């Protein structure tokens, strides 16, 4: 099972990822952990990342994708994996799609944990206040100010992935404001539905293309069936065309007969007139 969990900081992705790891025997792949492991193992891609990080630069997408490509080939990822922290942008999602296609793998689901950002900020403020009241130090990265910046970064960079995977018909959204147990149960229901469909999802995606390919053939067959029916009236049209032609041919004959009759009538009248003059 290969999954991506989406959601802003504080949405509970880490908690749900750990539960999925235990339930399904898959591994959680964090880009940060993978980078550090690749650097420690001194793999070619890890050494490249080390040089970039040592220079204070951001590791480019192609390097991260290369590290993921190496990691998902390891034996412990044979049952599947959950990607944590990747992809963060649409270009990274496209690069991941290309990688999985190259390895003849598919994502089973992309699950979004949707939460109320205002409630998240209230939780952080309350947690920080409780820690101060107990005399405990508040982590620098666990303050309302830091969370506000992280939420803004999520909206700008990662939230477009929701539309990307929704367009690819892979996104399932879960109400992250429910209890942890309820969220786990809902994710389980989604994955059970995916498991029942099996590989049919790819077939369903392909079916519109097949239908579109068959459509012209069906249209051609229909046109071929209709063509003889449309051609049939031409025989009647031919008969209709012959009738005027016959009428035209008959017209001179009728005219000539009338002329003969007229000529005969004229001769008879002249003969009668001549006899009358002779008797006088």
Q: What is the pLDDT of residue 96?
A: 95
Supply the pLDDT for residue 58: 77
Tens-digit pLDDT profile for residues 212-237: 334 444 544 555 555 444 444 444 44
pLDDT of 273 strictly over 60? no
277: left (phi over 0), alpha (psi -120 to 50) or beta: alpha
pLDDT tens by residue, 54-103: 887 778 888 889 989 989 999 999 999 999 888 989 999 999 999 999 99
Task: Check residue 231 and give its pLDDT.
Answer: 43
**Residues contacting residue 237 through CB under 8 Å, at least 6 positions apart:** none
Whole-number Å distance between alpha carbons of 280 and 273? 11
pLDDT band at 45 (very low <50, low <70, confident <90, very high): confident
Category of 25 on φ-ψ map: left (φ > 0), alpha (ψ -120 to 50) or beta: left
Average pLDDT over residues 137-152: 86
Residue 189 has phi, psi (to 5 degrees) of -65, -40
Catalytic residues: 13, 88, 126, 139, 150
């Amino acid at each position: 099972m290969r999954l991506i969990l989406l959601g802003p900081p504080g949405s509970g992705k880490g908690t749900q990822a750990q539960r999925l790891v235990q339930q399904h025997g898959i591994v959680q792949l964090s880009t940060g952990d993978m980078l550090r492991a690749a650097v420690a193992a001194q793999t070619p891609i890890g050494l490249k990342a080390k040089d970039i990080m040592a220079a204070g630069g951001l590791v480019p997408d192609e390097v991260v994708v290369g590290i993921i490509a190496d990691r998902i080939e390891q034996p412990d990822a044979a049952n599947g994996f959950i990607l944590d922290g990747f992809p963060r942008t649409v270009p990274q999602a496209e690069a991941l799609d290309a990688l999985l296609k190259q390895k003849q793998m598919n994502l089973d689901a992309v699950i979004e944990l949707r939460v109320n950002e205002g409630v998240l900020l209230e939780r952080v403020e309350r947690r920080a206040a409780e820690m101060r009241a107990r005399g405990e130090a508040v982590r620098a990265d666990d303050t309302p100010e830091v969370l506000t910046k992280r939420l803004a970064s999520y909206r700008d960079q990662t939230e477009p992935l929701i539309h990307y995977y929704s367009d690819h018909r892979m996104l399932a959204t879960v109400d992250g404001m429910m209890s942890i147990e309820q969220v786990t149960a809902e994710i389980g229901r989604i994955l059970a539905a995916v498991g029942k469909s099996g590989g049919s999802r790819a077939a369903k995606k392909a079916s519109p293309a097949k239908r579109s390919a068959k459509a012209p053939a069906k249209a051609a067959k229909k046109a071929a069936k209709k063509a003889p029916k449309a051609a049939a009236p031409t025989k009647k049209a031919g008969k209709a065309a012959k009738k005027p032609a016959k009428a035209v041919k008959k017209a001179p004959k009728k005219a000539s007969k009338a002329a003969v009759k007229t000529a005969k009538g004229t001769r008879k009248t002249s003969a009668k007139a001549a006899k009358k003059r002779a008797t006088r």
